[in-house]
Structure 1
Amino acid sequence: MHDRRRTANLLGATALAVHDLAMAGATGVAGVSASGAAALVVLSASPEVGVTELGRRVGLSQSAAARMLDSLESRGLVARRPGQGRSVAVTLTPAGRRTAAELLAARGAPLADLVDTLDDDQHEALAELLATLLARLYGEVGSAELLCRLCDRGACTRDAVCPVGQAEREGAP
């Protein structure tokens, strides 16, 4: 019998190292914070979002989201304009779209290199395990938008069904 505590510890160490690797690439190329990187990716998938909704999707309060947007706007990456009623709509500028694409590529490259160390059977097994874990995590987080805030959605859904989106459609707890 495998030691589940050891497996959990290995998962924790791997998760932290993978997070650091992915975020270093993403924030480094974009020159923004982790929440700023997430905001650019979210806006690349949802072209026009309100400040409060964007904050919810990246895990920030409305006031923290507004401060983060001030920084992105000062760099010419996003633009705000009046929305419905008192709301403010946020969109990517052309520079913001380019930065979001560069950010996703920089996030994905070290992850692809890491996955390339696996043979085909290991790769398939890992993909299945990750899909299972992500569906479970959706039940904990309760928001596909928040869980997938830095996802390359095209890569996730090109040849398969996104496990997080599937869990959301099935109403996983």
Structure 2
Amino acid sequence: MIGEMIYVFCMHINLVANKVGALVTALSDVLTSPQYSSSSDAALVTLFHRQPISVTSLAQILGLTQSATTRLVQRLKSEKLIQQQDMSGRERLLSLSKEGEQIAAALGKFRLDRIAKILSPLSDDDRQALDRIVSSLLINLVEDETHARHMCRHCDHGICRGEACPVGSEIRRKEKMEKSHDSEA
């Protein structure tokens, strides 16, 4: 009896995991911009919310190597979507051009509109339940501030900030615990 219950539980977990995998794949397909790669999209949206930032910071947020980010920056610069300001040494600060800002805003709107359409059949209660579940999963995934920035590279930081952002809230909670632990040592 217990063995059968464990088997059913494991099969259910695997079924849920499989469905989540299919959902992630479908969402990725639906949210991919027809004009820009995922990296270009993320770079433009990141710059929209965090400009000016260095190439190194952008590479960390995007999860790309320095050389891959440099190639991406050169491509976006050749399309006149970003501009760079040379700083001391080899470091450069990146920001969006006017056209880049318009495109980044449009990319953000595209993603939010697509997600809103996907969520539209859900009842208010289901949306609230989904919000709680997604928040719990995000909290469980976040490791540190660098990882949080990578996780949220497509986020609209004007919508999801402060206590509304489970990722940022978890980072602040971890930092507070770390400071408390350091002061006890």
**Fold equivalence (TM over 0.5):** yes
Q: Map 1:67-146 to 2 at 5 A.
A: 67-139=71-143, 143-146=147-150
- AA partner of residue 14 (structure 2): R
* Secondary structure at the counterpart of residue 91 of structure 1: strand
- AA partner of residue 75 (structure 1): E
Contact 1:41–1:149, Cα closer than 8 Å, also in 2? yes
Matching residue of 1:63: 67
Q: Distance in 2 between matches of 1:7 and 1:171?
A: 29
Matching residue of 2:166: 163
1:109-152 deviation line (CA, Å, top 9, x unaligned) = 11101111100110100000000001111138961110000011
1:53-73 deviation line (CA, Å, top 9, x unaligned) = 101111111110000011100
- AA partner of residue 19 (structure 2): L
* Structure 1: runs of 5+ lacking an equivalent: none
Q: Distance in 2 between matches of 1:139 and 1:86?
A: 30
1:48-89 deviation line (CA, Å, top 9, x unaligned) = 111111011111111100000111001110011112433111
Q: Distance in 1 between matches of 2:145 and 2:28?
A: 17
Q: Does 1:152 align with 2:156?
A: yes
TM-score, structure 1 length as denominator? 0.89
- AA partner of residue 100 (structure 2): G
* Secondary structure at the counterpart of residue 97 of structure 1: helix
- Bigger-Rg structure (1/2): 2
Q: Distance in 1 between matches of 2:123 and 2:94?
A: 43
